[in-house]
Amino acid sequence: GAGVSQSPSNKVTEKGKDVELRCDPISGHTALYWYRQSLGQGLEFLIYFQGNSAPDKSGLPSDRFSAERTGGSVSTLTIQRTQQEDSAVYLCASSSNPMFAQPQHFGDGTRLSIL
């Protein structure tokens, strides 16, 4: 079956612009996660959605970052007034179980470059 799908695969934009990144989780997966991966670094947790519960936003680095998940499926991560330090690969993952202690399946990410 289809895995986690992210779009766009690459995004180049100017500093100060807003960007939207999209994630389509695996069908039936109730949990959805966003991570940020800077060059040569590990994965930094950003936000977690589980069903209709309030999302865990504890990893968002600033109020310029926000995310939503419509209908319990597709999610959009929005970065407003982008800065050069926002350049990174943004990864989305989904899981069939709401607990973190279950396998997470990743998409191939969106590579974001801020000029």
Which single residue is written with the structure tokens 């100017």? 14
Contact 14/114 with Cβ under 8 angstroms? yes
Minimum distance between the CB of residue 19 and other proteins, rounded to whole angstroms? 19
- Residue spans of alpha helices (H) in the chain: none
Considering beta carbons, is residue 80 or 96 the nearer one to other proteins? 96
Q: What angle do CA 54, 80, 25 make, to 5 degrees?
A: 45
Q: Does 99 bind other proteins (CB under 8 A)?
A: yes
Q: Does 101 bind other proteins (CB under 8 A)?
A: yes
Q: Which of 16, 85, 100, 113 binds other proteins (CB under 8 A)?
A: 100
Minimum distance between the CB of residue 93 and other proteins, rounded to whole angstroms? 8
